[in-house]
Structures are given as C-alpha cells and as structure tokens.
A and B are shown apart, each in its own frame.
Chain A
Amino acid sequence: MHAIALDSKYSVPTVAIHTNVFEKAVQSVTRMHGMPQARYTFVPQPVMGKTAAQLRAYVDGKSPISGRPVMQEVIEGLTRPAEGDHLKEIKFERTTPRLVDSDTDDNLHRLFLENNWTDKLPIVLPTEKRVAAMLAHTSRKPDEVAGHLRSNQFRQHWEFTVEKVAVNAVMAGARPEYFPVILALAASGVSARGSTTSSMAAMVVVNGPIRNEIGMNSGTGAMAPYNHANATIGRAYGLLSQNLQGGSIPGDSYMGSQGNGYAYGSVTFAENEERSPWAPFHVQHGFKPTDSTVSIFTGCRSTAFTLGVREKYWPEHVRNMLRGMDAHSAPTFLLDPIAARQYIDRGGFDTKEKMIEWVYENALMPAGEYWDYQLIQNYIYPRATFGEEPYASKLKAAPDEMIKMFKPDEIHIVVVGGETNGYWRIMGCNYQKTVSVDEWR
C-alpha cells in the first residue's frame, strides 16, 4: 500500500519486500489499487525473532515464491521498465448481479459453499420471497445504499444496498423482525471479518427496548448458542461482513494465522439492563434509555475469567487477570449481575465509571516488560517515539517503574448473565462505536 503510493503518487521507483505467506494478499491489494504491475519480492516467513545472521541469509537467498535471488528482484524492480500492458489485466467496470443463475436447491447450496459466501455451515437460500419478507421490516428502500465495508485499512471499501444486507440476513437464518439490528451493524462501517494476522473477532452488545421486542437473551447462556436472535444476528453480521466487503478468504483476504471461534457468532448478546446495578452501556455513550442501539467491539481474542469478587484479595486477583491480558488489548469486563453487585460491595463502585477508574489505576506493568511486547512495539512504540501522549511519557519510565497498561476510555463494563453464579470475565477487545437501531426500523 505505502509502496504503491510512493511509486505512483510521488513518482519514486519503489520495491516492496513481503514474506511469502502474503503472496495472494499482495496480488489482491495491488490489483484492487490499480497497480498490478507494482514491484515486489518475497522472503520467508517469519522475520520476527530471527537473528541478524538469519535475516542476512534471507537477503542473500532466493524468493520462496519465484525461486530467483531476492536482491536480483529488488534491483530489477527499481531499474526494469514495465513489460507489456498490465493494466489490461484489470476489470475496471464490474457489477455484481442481483440474482445468481437459477438452479436446484442442492446445486445452489454447493455454489454458495464453493464461492466462499458462507461460514461453511448450511445457510438458508435467499429467495425473492424470503428477502422480501426481510425487507418488510424496515422503512428503508431496497436499493438505498446502506453502507461501505472493507476488511482492513489497506483494502478499498465495497458498497452495498439495503437489499444486499437482507440477502445475507436471510442466509444466516434471521427472522425479519431482527432486520433493523442487522442493518445497523452493516451500516456501522465496522467489519466483523477484519483481516489481521492476529485473528480478531467482533463482539456485539445490544441495548434498549429492541432487546425484548425481538426476544434477545441477556440472562442465562446469553453468550452461548441458546437464543435464536442472539445467534442469527451475530451470524448475519459475520456473513454480511465477508460478502459485502469483497470476501474473507484465508491467504487472500483473511490473514488470521490461527483463526478465532468467536467469529462464528461475533459474541452477540443483550446487556442485562433489568438486573444491572448500573447505567446501561448505551446510556454511558450518549443515548437515552429508550433508544435501541448496538455497540460493536473488535479485536476479541483474549479472555480471562474467575468466580466472584473475594473479600480479602480481590484487588490482587483482578490485577493478576489484567497482567495476564495482552498489553495491547484493553479490558472489557463482562459481569454477571451477581459479580457486578459484589464489585459495589467490595470496592464501593456505585457507578461503572468509578470501577473503570480503579481498573485504570491498577492495571500496571513494569515499563521494560510493557515496551518489550511485540504488539506494543508494532503499534504503540512508534507513536510514543513521535511524541503522542500518554505513550511518550510512558517511554520515559525506567524499566522497573510500574506504568499504566491502558487508557481510561479503553476500559469498559457490560453486565450479562443469568445469576446462576457470580462468574465474570474480561474480554480483551477494542470498543469501536455505538449506533442507533431505531434509524433502521
């Protein structure tokens, strides 16, 4: 991406060096950015953690893709003019049809599976009748542009209509009355199928009257596969993300090294507002209690859990859990109502904000350890070195000095669970936004 800009916009001959596992992704990105003739070569994966001698061997060696010397390809990339008219390889005017070719039930299921339009589980075929029933539950017109999505910042946005969202909602098995929630998720601009090597998943929290109108679960088993609305809204969010952003295919448009089971349903649930001792999540973010909203988190990977909030050592227990999280993934506390009330009893946190402040002050780590995390090196250290606060100040700390791991606005609390016990967990994830469902009714 940067090489394309430097080469085409600034007219500086540029060669990019990638690792071999990104071959298809590089081809796809350069093609979609209108520069399939971009010059690049490959070295073996990984670069991270290798010694200088091992990396020198990469430089002296051959590309694992072409079998030609890496540095020969680098020098040719800077000096050899483009051969042939590569631009002819691009289709500049492409349209997506409204209908696929008619076929039998079995053949269509096979087609959807082979085209990577599913999550590899059976889908409901989106017939005209089913899509029309879905569309009947919004006032928006079928051909209205509902939004834009892309799998990461190096990809271009794709566009989609209300009808395209309805097609994916049908495929997921969602009932028409769920459609405003699904539309709100699609229109958010946040993809549930982000392409990052870290294998992130999304998490969706629904607040307000819509929760009970469509029978969502905020109690026992809310985050598990026991509620039709929770399950199919989350599945629809995943399907629409992959299909409306131009795909999510391993090695091409999805680079999650290990993958993530949370991605099947995007951890979709309603907050248990009725049993929570605190203000609902959407009210914390500027909405009225009578508004219906969805809140979207991404980067869900790490989880820590425990039972109860113990009288004597609860601060130590919580600090241990926070230290066990990756320092780059901020904590969102998912508390059963029993645990939420225990936090009030133990810590006096009569608002979520007071508990968040305590977490902020107590999530500490020696500076040396913090800065040595690879994700901190990749994403925070560069910002710190160029003066961005609060990272720049943290960078001044001695290696043994305890520094804060997170910022207050990165820490969140949601109440969910059926009070069968006082279990609670911390989800390492990044809050993206809260959006209105009512606008999509």
Chain B
Amino acid sequence: MATITKQARKKIWAFLALGTFVGLLFLPLFLSLPAGAGDTPAPAASTDAKPVEKSRDVWYKTEGPVIGAPAPKTTDSAKDYPRYNFESRVILWVALQQHLYYGSFVLAVPIFCMIVEYLGVITKDKALSRKYDQLAYDFVKISLTAYSITALLGGIVIFTFLTLYPTFFGYLSSIFRPVMATYALLFIAESGTLYIYYYAWERMREGFLKWIHVAMSVILNVIGTVLMMLANSWIAFMQSPAGVDADGRYLGNVWHVIHTTLWNPINVHRLLGNMAFGGGVVAAYAAYRFLTAKSDEERAHYDWMGYVAMFIGICFLIPLPFAGYWLMREVYAYRQQMGITLMGGLLAWLFIIQAVMIGALFLTANYYLWQGMDRMPGAERFQKYIKYMVFVLIMCFIVWLTPHTMVMTPAELKAMGGQQHPVLGNYGVMSAKNGAINTIITTTVLSFIIYQRANKIPTVKWAPYGNAFLFGLFTMAYVNIIWLAIYGYYIPANVRVGLSVPQVASTLSCLFIGVILNSIMLKGAKDVGPIVWGKISVRGQYALIMLATSFTWMMGLMGYIRSSVRLFWHVNEIMRDNSPWAFTHTIGFGANMISFNVLFFWLTILFVFWLGALGVRKAPATAPVGQKVPAPAGSR
C-alpha cells in the first residue's frame, strides 16, 4: 500500500474541509426545496373538499393561494405591547443598532481580509507577501471577538422582540419562517467557517493549502453576504411589502416576500455602506495603535495599516452616494409620498444633517490624503494646488447642505418673502446638490491621483500626452457636471431627474479612466524618494478616527430615517403600529439617541481593540521607517 505523505494527507483534509463548507452552504437550499412527489398527500377524493381561497399580491399583482393568517390588528394593551415603564421602541432601537454596527463590522472585515490575503498570495516578493498575510491575519483577529458580540446582540434583539413586540414578531416570523430557518443554518455555517479559517491560518500558510485557505475566505464572505441579504429582506418587507395580499395574508411564494421592490437597492447600499464603515473602524484601530505606539517600527506598520484600510473604505465610499440615490429613486417609484416624507417633509431636516455628514466625510478623506503626502518626498510640488481644492470642496459643501425650505416663525417668513430664500433657495434643489456632490467626488479622485504621483515622476515617452489627456478629462468633467446642474433649472422635472445619470457617469469616467491612466503612466516612474511610513502628522491619524466616527453616526442616522419613514406602520399599509410610541420623535431626541448608540458602540469596540492588542505578536511584520512597504493602487 502506497504511503501517503504528510503533505498529501493535508491536501486530502483540506479538500474534505472545503467540501464540507460548500455542502453546508447548499444545505439550506436543499432543506427549503419542496417535498418530493412521493411525500405529497393524495388529494381527498371527497367532493365536499373546500376550494382553495385565492388572493392578489399587493405588489406583484399575481394571484396565489391564501396560506397565512391576516396581519393581526393590535391594540394598545399588555397583550400586544408588554412594557417596562419605559419606551419599548427605544430599547429595541439600541439593541438593533448595536447588532447592526457589529454585524456590519464582521461582514466587512472578512472581505478586507480576503482581498489582502489574496494580494499576499499573488505577490511574488516574499517579504511583501508575508506583510500582506500578517495584515490579513490582524484583520480577522479583530473581527473574531466582534463576531461573538454580534451573535450575543442578535440574541438580545430576538428576546427584545419577543418580550416587547410579541404580536408583531409572531406575524413577521410566520411570513419569514423558511427564511429565518435558513438564516439560522447559515449563521452556524458562517461561525464554523470563520473559526476554522482563523485557527487554520498557521497550518495552511504555504503552497496549495494557502489557496484552499483563500477559497475558504471566499466561502466565508459568500455566506456573510447572503446572511446580510436575508436580514435585509425583513426590513425591505416592512417598508415595501410583497408576497402578501391587502390583509397581510401570505400567498405561498417566499421569493416574492424576499424580493420586494426595495430589497436590491437596500442590499447594494448596505453592502457598500458596511464596507466603508468596516474600513473606517479598522483605520481607526490602526490610528489608535499608531498614536499609542512606542517605536518607529510600530508607527510605520500602523500608519501603513491605516492607509490600506482607509483606501479600501474610500473605494466603497465613492459609489455609496450613487447607491443611495438609486435607493431613494426606488422609494419614490414605490410610494411618492414616502419619498416626499423623507426628503421634502417630516424627515427632511435629517437629510440635511446627513448631507453635512457626507460632506464632512469627503473633506476628512481629502484632508487625510493631503496629510499623507507628508511622508512622500517630492509631494511639495503639489502643495500649491491644495488651497484651490479646499476652495472647491468648501463651496460645494455649502451648496450640498443648503436646505430647500426652512422651518420659520411667521415673522421670519414675512421678512424673507416666502419659504425659500430669494438667492440661497436656488441652491436647495437636487440640480444644485447633484452638481455639488459630483464635484466633491471628482475632486476627491483628483486628490487621490495627486497622492499617487506625489513622490514620482512619470518617465514614459507619452507622459506629456497622458498629462494633457488627464487635464482635458478633469477640466471637461467639471464643466460637464456644472453645466448639467445649470441645465436642470431650465427643463421639466421628468427630464431633469435623468440628468443625474450623465453626472454620475462623468464622475465615474474620472475615477476609472483617470486612475487607470495615471497608474499606467506611473509604471517604471522615477522615484523622488520612498514613502516614509510613520512620518505623518497626528492630525492625519485623528482624521482617520473622525472618518470612522462620522461613518458610525451616519449609519445610525440613516437607519433611523429609513425606519421612521414607515410612520405608524409596522408593515407599511398592512399592519398598523398601535403602540403608544407610534409617533416620530423630535430631531433633537433622535440625534441624542444616535449619539448614545455611537458612544456605546465605540466604548465596546475599544474593549475589542484592547482584547486584540493583548494577543499581538511581539514581532509583527513591520517596516522600519523609510523602508518600502506595500501600498495599493500605485501609491508606493
């Protein structure tokens, strides 16, 4: 009998493990398949069998057999809304928000980990490969403790629902029974995969086993993303129900219940948002470690780590406003009144706060890049342009946050001559705001291109032509974005709304063409000097913490807005909320609650960071000051 070598045995075990993961991944699908023909009971022969009642889907307008009970009509009583002499909604708000923060974090970090580990595998330079691998390991280590807290918070959410909103939760789980069962199974698969992925890191560090390990990270992330999408289906159903009739009776098609009209926009928006948030939190962790570092080596390592996390986060932040725009467009298409409540009515001021936060995010990201240029010899050539970019960003920021209408006293209204200011009111419309945000994003792309070439001089023969092309591209993109913004004032609303698409396309042209062309031009470029990692002002690190805090606050805000737009409905137009808390809070109360949630999250995540720091190896893969360390997208 042939002897099986140790290496071959490892391979067999790796294949078996991978097969098990894939099997677990598909298990819920098999379980949710309809029973075979042999299991189906034969129809009753008697003629007095009741005919199956059919009803019409509220969204898809298709007919289906009535399977579920109607949505319960609740009353303000202890039976439907048990309570603890405290606002139940606020308790649930805190539990859900904390679960969401941690859930987002543990969804995003393994995706980073997958990207960085893959970079490590394909990098030919062994030293760089080890550094990437160490970074990926650091990422997953942080998420491991957070994962346990996420599960714990998930349990708290379920208990809170069961004890404070039993009737509503009963109805929702009767509709989503197969989805919830699938969710639970996937959660087990996710936990198993994550722990094996982490603990097998050392054993699967080399050769073919490393590829299996990378494949495991792909599976881990597929499961995580599906989990997020399933959870999204519940909130999408509450906002834009489908798969039920007007009485809320389930019509037997689980796909209709999942695939409501807002499901996909929410999926895309949340995935991008989670990635940006995860990047922010990891960058803040790196900033925290940078600020508390005792040696230059540590500072260099955590400066680099913060940069990589911020870079990945910003990559997902840039398309985020477009995904948000798509979501809002679908909300308007679903129920115009809902859109108006969000952006032009009861919740409009929260959108102004959101605009301020988005503007602050982009300003901070640009500020970090400019601060980061400190570590690059030769960057002083570009310093003179920064003041112009600051001017453009600030002007656009002001337009971006200008409200359409103001809440005023009658005297103020009279003094201003109407609800809109005669001059500033012109900047409170979407035409101006779309122009402003696209200009902000284009300027951020420009900042990044300048950052990329801060310590480099292109040496390709066609460099003058490339530079001229970049000049033409950015100049005309700015002109085009502003032209479309002005053009929007002169055409009817139904045509104007379409102008956002070419505006976005202009911005994306700069992003893709500009960054790719710049990267090609910088191949083999002359180095003015290497990036001196660790040589960055502490202000740059505080900018990273500011980015992460802004993400956290904005997530809390947007979650509150999305949830509040249902007003007095548990499930929009299907199941009414008859609890004493079915009212919209004041903006001040909402803002305080969001701030409380943000503070709570950051206090607990600091604990997670502290735990992560306890297990840090004493000799991490670090780069001494001045030594070249890897950086994405040609920024080396």
**Do the two shown chains form a genuine complex with each other?**
no
